Structure 1
């Protein structure tokens, strides 16, 4: 008879993988199922930021901001290869929030989270500072503060990797086909991509399905009132050719009270977003509307000397946030904090559903989930993730620049741009990918843009990649750089690998 699991997690986004990692590290028997690829939806469609959420101060969400600010430096230490400090420039718009209010908000931002590593905010004379160069002449005063950038999809994969290495089973392309309580145990039927089904027994079921959380609730607990308390909010981003030099980002105020970010992206581009739009469409086909694109372009054009128009857009992406409905009329003001709903149905097997949350606070969310389940499952191990690096992040003193210097000497035969991309993706695990290679010829077929067969093999064998999209748009962003012919070559490689495996 199959062994009973302690926890079965539905959903392979940042919350689901974070929960699986935390639980596995406490010695629990864990399985995670994801109906598509890891980070296939909202978790790869973020603004790529680890941040406190400066604008949430206006909604008096001091607890959320403090929690997120503390997490910035915890996550930076855990994964300095995929997370990096970034300075944000906030131009003062005379017609919007007063400069004194901005200064007060930044003072709180500096001090709420016990900042230790990231530098404090300061005022800027944009007439003299290089950050003022691409901005319209009317913006003469501004502020600068710190947050962090993150490769969001890789953060998800690294949590899944760590969970698996600590004993969890991670099943991608696997759907929850049904679940029912059988006394103190859940019987959960999972269906894989080939149509085969298998039933697992688990003591607790965690619903971390992101935008599909209500669908899962309706499937496994149709009478739950909580499935009525969710708002789906779409956020879209546009990608344009590089608008400014430097490694800083901008945060712009809009007349409607919202803000947008303009962020350096993939060396040659600028990422701009996001929107807040109520969403009721198909969750599997989310995309930016023409209206959203025009909105983002207009917001950016209010600040940049060079107008941004829809014709400039090289690409877009959109994600749907599963926010808990707190009754706010405005989509932008709905709380971004998470809400956990624990249903034990009069002592029956627990069902815990996750609503909302920010990528920045995923680790704290996972700890909170474990604290809710601890008295029900009876485990005793305490929280541990705050002090442990993610895979590839075990860099001495989190000194990524020093690490890169050492690797440049060790792998002097690799072109520097390629080595840097690999180090930023895999950190200390780059040696597992490169193996005994001593020349690029040892890396196998060259697909262009610094993508070699050795990396495809590593991603297929180690990181659950099964198709070109997994590699080109999630495990990396090489899809932005490679021509269509290279995309096809990668797709053909996976098709052949699948055929051989069959």
Structure 2
């Protein structure tokens, strides 16, 4: 049956930018519909290096505005989501560096001050052979700089923005794709399709937040301008067993002037990435190439004592970054800044298309998007997201450790590692996941790896999870910990539940 109500915004794309805009708009009192063809964060937004950072290497390309905005946002996001975002120290060895030490130190000095740093520590210098942060590295590594940025559970950041948007009145539809959209008088008439078939919806504004599919969406909209360029860049990561002790990360400088991160991951592993390669094929689910694997292994083997081979790789993931085409010579030099393109007006409903961007600046991007769309919208509230906690992020003083201790007092019988993981995922909403359970048995079926039925049901009920993959690799990273066949067990449970 055709949809008769009119939305203020129809947002195409359930990645971080689409979810962030949906949240901001819903909080301003606007009527919002977001449609995502797959699962939330099922592509680029779950394939990042999982950092909230200014982008130290972007200073080398003169991206001072982007770095400053990113560093300001780093502090804001840490404050509104201290459960899924936390400080992370980075060790930057100078040995093997293609840049002189004075240049690196000058860049770090600028990095410390350009964004008005308030909570994270300033850069310092250490000798790796005399400091525990050098453990696991090859001998005689010499001097290193230590600076700070933040870690983020990237796909959870998307889910929490969508959840907050929904709780503020937005409609979020996953597994729903746009078939076409046309301007009819002063409205968009769009046809969307899910498993039950196509239907029509109407909206005042169309927001094209489709990421790598931004050009495809433009092709589905009648008479839309399509002269903005998007440059697709593939980035891949590998995961290996833990390479070194400690909770710090490493920034490894490569002879080609690129950098590779080595980051503690899921307690037992080290995440190594990323690559930057042009992507000429249609958007989709890319996989890592043998050449990318070799590049990342070589990077690690240049610094760490343990020699890695292909057999040490326990998991990989790849994503396509939809960057704005600034005609840079190499993929790694393409700007990570964003461009917001608005067209319409004079009786024609507006469309906003998003080119580029990075996960750190998603909230500011959403704010800028709503400012650009203000002339086309009914009167609404002003920006509000800078200080508003994301679901579960309303932790007193942002002190996660104190919150975890209080949670431990509430559930003394539950294993501490389980409580810690749930607290890191759900923050102050952990009690909603646990329900009335006061023992492990009260959490229902044990799927292994610390995943219980109570959490599965919560994710289905509140966070649009529909498959084992959604739960194991996007709402969590438990896929690295559970027994083989767990995704299929969850799928079977969900199929029986839906029957």
Encode CA deviations 1:73-117: one digit per residue, 9 max, x unaligned. Answer: 100110100001000000002551111001100000000010111
1:212 aligns with 2:213: yes
Whether the 8 Å CA contact 1:6–1:377 is kept in 2: the answer is: yes
1:131 aligns with 2:133: yes
1:356 aligns with 2:356: yes
- 1:34 equivalent among 36, 43, 54: 36
**Matched residues, number:** 497
Query: Equivalent residues in 2 for 1:8-19 (5 A)?
Result: 8-19=10-21
Cα distance in 2 for residues equivalent to 1:475 and 1:154:
6
Query: Equivalent residues in 2 for 1:170-319 (5 A)?
Result: 170-194=172-196, 196-221=197-222, 224-227=225-228, 229-319=229-319
Cα distance in 2 for residues equivalent to 1:285 and 1:405:
40
SS of the residue 1:371 aligns to: helix
1:96 aligns with 2:98: yes
Unaligned runs of 5+ in 2: none
State the shift of 1:166 in Å.
0.3
Cα distance in 1 for residues equivalent to 2:108 and 2:97:
19
Encode CA deviations 1:195-230: one digit per residue, 9 max, x unaligned. Answer: x12211100000000100010011114652335x11
Cα distance in 2 for residues equivalent to 1:441 and 1:136:
46
Whether the 8 Å CA contact 2:96–2:253 is kept in 1: the answer is: no
SS of the residue 1:426 aligns to: helix
1:7 aligned partner: 9
**What is the TM-score when the length of structure 1 is the normalising length?**
0.97
- Larger deviation, residues 244-253 vs 128-137: 128-137
Whether the 8 Å CA contact 1:391–1:429 is kept in 2: the answer is: yes
Q: 1:486 to 1:225 in 2, by over 3 A?
A: closer
Cα distance in 2 for residues equivalent to 1:259 and 1:27:
43
Cα distance in 1 for residues equivalent to 2:97 and 2:18:
42
SS of the residue 1:137 aligns to: coil
Whether the 8 Å CA contact 2:98–2:255 is kept in 1: the answer is: yes
RMSD (Å) for aligned C-alpha atoms: 1.2
State the shift of 1:6 in Å.
0.5
Unaligned runs of 5+ in 1: none
Cα distance in 2 for residues equivalent to 1:133 and 1:454:
40
Cα distance in 2 for residues equivalent to 1:95 and 1:284:
35
Cα distance in 2 for residues equivalent to 1:197 and 1:225:
26
Whether the 8 Å CA contact 1:132–1:140 is kept in 2: the answer is: no
Whether the 8 Å CA contact 1:174–1:190 is kept in 2: the answer is: yes
Cα distance in 1 for residues equivalent to 2:290 and 2:468:
27
Cα distance in 2 for residues equivalent to 1:410 and 1:345:
56
1:448 aligned partner: 448
Whether the 8 Å CA contact 1:263–1:270 is kept in 2: the answer is: yes
Cα distance in 2 for residues equivalent to 1:221 and 1:292:
39
SS of the residue 1:226 aligns to: coil
- Larger deviation, residues 31-40 vs 346-355: 346-355
1:481 aligns with 2:481: yes
**What is the TM-score when the length of structure 2 is the normalising length?**
0.98
Whether the 8 Å CA contact 1:226–1:341 is kept in 2: the answer is: no
2:89 aligned partner: 87
